[in-house]
Amino acid sequence: MVPNELIKKIIDEQSQIIGVDLARSRALATGAISYSSAQDVTLSEEPPIVLDKLINSYKEIFGQASVDVCVDVIRKFPFQEISQYISPSIQGLVSAKKRK
């Protein structure tokens, strides 16, 4: 599991809800994500920072519902494979949602 795959899955899921153009533009607005091709993302910072920026970018526009969508995507991956790519604050959201 590479961090780019996780980021791409989040963008893809947001695309299903808000549309491809808006989901991609919010990803690009982080300044930490670019597209190396139509399907491949490139990260310019450490994965936990990129993930935080991406989630916050969606949250700025769409609020907590967009955060929940991101957390749902993260939860689909085995935690041991992605834990190193997730900041403590996002880990807290993932584990809090599991308890509900």
Quick one: pLDDT at residue 97? 63
Residues contacting 26, CB < 8 A, separation 6+? 14, 54, 57, 58, 61
35 has which bridge partners?
Answer: 41
The DSSP output letter for 25 is H
Count of positions (residues) in the chain: 100
d(CA 68, CA 70): 5
d(CA 92, CA 70): 13
d(CA 60, CA 76): 24
Quick one: pLDDT at residue 98? 60
Q: pTM for the full model?
A: 0.91
- pLDDT per residue, tens digit, the chain (100 aa), is 489 999 999 999 999 999 999 999 999 999 999 998 878 899 999 999 999 999 999 999 999 999 999 999 999 999 889 999 999 999 988 887 665 4
CB 87 within 8 A of CB 40: no
The residue type at 36: S
